[in-house]
């Protein structure tokens, strides 16, 4: 069993890597939002508490979040290990996570951060566009259609770009990411748990690097 925290800014491919770990290793990705919704829906003891708090318009406390994670860790599908996504966010939550895992005879094995070069990420994201008809993906710099303005796959001449694929949005998201991870990264750095992987590399290269960390290579 391997328990990790996976960190990475939007565009670093965190979702892809997490699904590969689920598929290849049977690990389970746990995001607090999903867990909270599932617990409320399933009507678990902590889920019912959370529901009452949310219906009263209040924020769900750390204690309730811990309770929900604990309930989730006790389900049998987490036997191969879990990937924490978006949790912990604070020193207090990091301490709770240690307790939750220790209570179950487990520990946090690695904190893996997919690193990106911000300027390169801006170029990667702002340059992408897709065929409006068949959705084939292209890029201004890295993958132009073979005939200018004509989709390689379906011959369409209509392309589209996502409105949020712009520089300002990318830089704002990077700043948000740094602000969110700043409280916890130093805690895990001190413990030697933080491993960095180049999130700008090819998807398969990133996967291999993560596997090497998990296998202790």
> Of 134, 147, 205, 212, which one interacts with Zn ion (CB under 5 A)?
134
Q: Which of 25, 51, 89, 104 is catalytic?
A: 89
* 131 contacts Zn ion (rule: CB under 5 A): yes
> Of 92, 153, 175, 203, which one interacts with Zn ion (CB under 5 A)?
153
Whole-number minimum distance, CB 204 to Zn ion, in Å?
25
Paired tokens of 138: 């292209």
CA 167 – CA 128 distance, rounded (Å): 12
DSSP string, 4-50: EEEE--TTS-HHHHHHHHHHHH--EEEEHHHHHHHHHHHT-HHHHHH
* 129 contacts Zn ion (rule: CB under 5 A): no
Whole-number minimum distance, CB 151 to Zn ion, in Å?
3
* 154 contacts Zn ion (rule: CB under 5 A): yes
Is 89 catalytic? The answer is yes
Is 128 catalytic? The answer is yes
6, 17 in Cβ contact below 8 A? yes
Q: Which of 161, 173, 180, 195 is catalytic?
A: 173
* 203 contacts Zn ion (rule: CB under 5 A): no
Is 161 catalytic? The answer is no
Q: What are phi and psi of 212, to 5 degrees?
A: -60, -40
Is 162 catalytic? The answer is yes
Beta-bridge partners for 196: 113
* 156 contacts Zn ion (rule: CB under 5 A): yes
Burial annotation 124-140 (CB, 10 A radius, 16+ → b, else e): bbbbbbbbeeeebebee
Cite the active site residues.
14, 89, 128, 162, 173
Residues that bind Zn ion (CB under 5 A): 131, 133-134, 136, 151, 153-154, 156
């Amino acid at each position: 069993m391997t328990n990790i925290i996976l960190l990475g800014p939007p565009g670093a491919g965190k979702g892809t890597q997490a699904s590969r770990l689920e598929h290849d290793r049977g690990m389970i990705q746990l995001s607090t939002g999903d867990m909270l919704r599932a617990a409320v829906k399933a009507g678990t003891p902590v889920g019912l508490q959370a529901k009452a708090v949310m219906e009263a318009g209040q924020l769900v406390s750390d204690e309730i979040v811990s309770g929900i994670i604990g309930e989730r860790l006790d389900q049998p599908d987490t036997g191969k290990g879990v990937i924490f996504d978006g949790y912990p966010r604070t020193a207090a939550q990091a301490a709770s996570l240690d307790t939750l895992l220790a209570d179950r005879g487990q520990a946090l094995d690695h904190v893996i951060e997919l690193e990106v070069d911000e300027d390169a990420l801006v170029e990667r994201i702002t340059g992408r566009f897709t065929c409006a008809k068949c959705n084939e993906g292209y890029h201004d710099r890295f993958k132009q259609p073979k005939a200018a303005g004509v989709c390689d796959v379906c011959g369409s001449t209509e392309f589209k770009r996502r409105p949020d694929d712009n520089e300002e949005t990318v830089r704002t998201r990077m700043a948000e990411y740094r602000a969110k991870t700043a409280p916890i990264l130093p805690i895990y750095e001190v413990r030697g748990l933080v491993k960095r992987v180049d999130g700008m590399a090819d998807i398969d290269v990133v996967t291999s690097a993560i596997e090497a960390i998990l296998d202790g290579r």
